[in-house]
Amino acid sequence: MGLLHYFLGLQVHQTEEGIFLLQRKYTRDLLNIKFGMLNCKLAATPMSISEKLQQVNEEELTYAKRFRSLVGGLIYLTHTRPDIAYHVGVISRFMQQPSKVHYGAAKRVLQYISGTLDFGIWYSKTDNFRLCGYTYSDWASSLDDIRSVSTNVFTLGSSVVTWSSKMQATTSLSTSEAEYIATTLAACQAV
């Protein structure tokens, strides 16, 4: 059958030096066919640094189904794009009652990925199989319930093998507590 080239929207490029996974075709279809944003104005980052999203008590979007479809497409894209995982996680909190602000934030992620179609994950050949993990917590980042977000990334050798961005189950009373919870979650992932 030969080498694997395409599987469930994942493009696989195998060489002597390693394997590169990306979702260029899936991303182009998402941008062009589903949302008509292939040639949109590009964004340098997936989300504005100063933007804090929260539930608003305004009327639900008339195109809420379109928002949910967009977020679902972005969630699938995070399989090879850890650079957008946190931002997609933030946006996906508002699936039940999206507003125009939430839809605008999701469209900004599309503007970012439109300029980064060739991003993916590179798994290079290596003899150094050292597991290395990084963790971070964003204390009280949710304006709705004052909960924190834990993020972690693990590499094996020089390649990313797992990443996560999750809302913490409890409300932290300090940045230290949020960091301890994030570190505990990362330690469980490492084990």
Cβ atoms within 10 Å, residue 172: 20
- Sort strands 149-156 and 6-7 into parallel, antiparallel or unpaired: unpaired
In this prediction, residue 45 carries a pLDDT of 93
- Give, for all 191 residues of the chain, the pLDDT tens digit: 788 999 998 999 999 999 999 999 999 999 999 998 988 999 999 988 777 787 776 666 667 889 999 999 999 999 999 899 889 988 998 888 888 888 999 999 999 999 999 999 998 888 888 999 999 888 766 667 778 888 899 988 878 888 888 888 888 888 899 899 999 999 998 99
In this prediction, residue 157 carries a pLDDT of 82
In this prediction, residue 11 carries a pLDDT of 95
Cβ atoms within 10 Å, residue 190: 13
Cα–Cα distance between 137 and 26 in angstroms, integer? 31
In this prediction, residue 165 carries a pLDDT of 82
> Greatest CA span in the chain, whole angstroms?
56
Structure tokens at 63: 């195109």
> What is the model's pTM?
0.81
Cα–Cα distance between 142 and 165 in angstroms, integer? 13
Handedness of CA 100, 87, 72, 25 (dihedral sign): positive
Rounding to the nearest 10 degrees, give the CA dihedral for residues 93, 152, 143, 70: -30
Give Rg (Cα) of the chain. Answer: 18
Structure tokens at 7: 């599987």
Can you list the alpha helix ranges (DSSP code H) found in the chain? 24-29, 64-77, 85-92, 100-114, 175-190
Residue 141: is it exposed, middle or buried by C-beta count within 10 angstroms (0-12/13-18/19+)? middle
In this prediction, residue 57 carries a pLDDT of 61
